Amino acid sequence: GQNIDQPTEMTATEGAIVQINCTYQTSGFNGLFWYQQHAGEAPTFLSYNVLDGLEEKGRFSSFLSRSKGYSYLLLKELQMKDSASYLCAVRPRNDYKLSFGAGTTVTVRA
Amino acid sequence: DAGVTQSPTHLIKTRGQQVTLRCSPKSGHDTVSWYQQALGQGPQFIFQYYEEEERQRGNFPDRFSGHQFPNYSSELNVNALLLGDSALYLCASSRDFPYEQYFGPGTRLTVT
């Protein structure tokens, strides 16, 4: 099976930086995804990492270390609209589904 | 370009009843996955349909069944509803493996 861990909650100030960590244990690996989910809405795709290293996309960056089973999502220049749940999801090798963590609720304060 | 659509938006059912949820994938996508998301949890994989067949199934009982039509749209059926089936049901579509999945707005099912 898959075991995906991420912190439950994080709070940060507008304009600051927040790093959301995700650790995983899976039977093989074929990519890690980050999704953003506002309350009552569907998850929206943020990033995809399959090779080690940092992927930058505007204010959001995602990092992957396959040997450590570790990823993080970095949110820079936080805005109030970034208050949401952030979901880490892994696709195991030879598997079609995504296995999700429970999500990290980020609250941005003024 | 329409994204993933789901219907209905909300649904209230009584224990023991049956429900059918519907999903139309994003244009160009041929694969549909269904997820159940309980409050405060991440989505849990129910099953995935490709070429009108169930390609993979998660740890859900046989009360959960589905179908994919030739136009790639899909249905999720749940029989003998239990209180614990109350959740947000998400449909996600993608081009075939290993592309990212795009989620619909979900159907909020409440079982009383």
Q: What is the pLDDT of residues A27-68, one digit of tens each?
A: 788 899 999 999 988 899 999 999 999 999 999 999 999 999
pLDDT score of B1 = 64
Q: Is the pLDDT of residue A16 over 70?
A: yes
The mean pLDDT of B60-69, rounded to a whole number, is: 97
- What residues contact residue A95 under an 8 Å CB cut-off, 6+ apart? A28, A30, B56
Rounded to a whole number of angstroms, the distance from the CA of A46 to the nearest CA of chain B is 10
Confidence of residue A92 (pLDDT cuts 50, 70, 90): confident
The alpha carbon of residue B75 is apart from the nearest alpha carbon of chain A, in Å, by 18
Higher pLDDT, A12 or A27: A12
Contact flag B97-A96 (C-beta cutoff 8 Å)? yes
- State mean pLDDT over B41-51: 95
C-beta pairs of B37-43 under 8 Å, 24+ apart in sequence:
B37/B87, B37/B88, B37/B89, B37/B90, B37/B106, B38/B87, B38/B88, B39/B87, B40/A102, B40/A103, B41/A102, B41/A103, B42/A4, B42/A87, B42/A89, B42/A100, B42/A101, B42/A102, B42/A103, B43/A43, B43/A87, B43/A98, B43/A100, B43/B90
Half-sphere exposure of B15 (CA within 13 A, CB side): 4
The distance of A23 to chain B (nearest Cα, Å) reads: 15
List CB contacts (< 8 A) between A101 and chain B: 42
Chain A environment of B100 (Cβ under 8 Å): 33, 45, 48
> Do A105 and A10 touch, CB atoms closer than 8 A?
yes
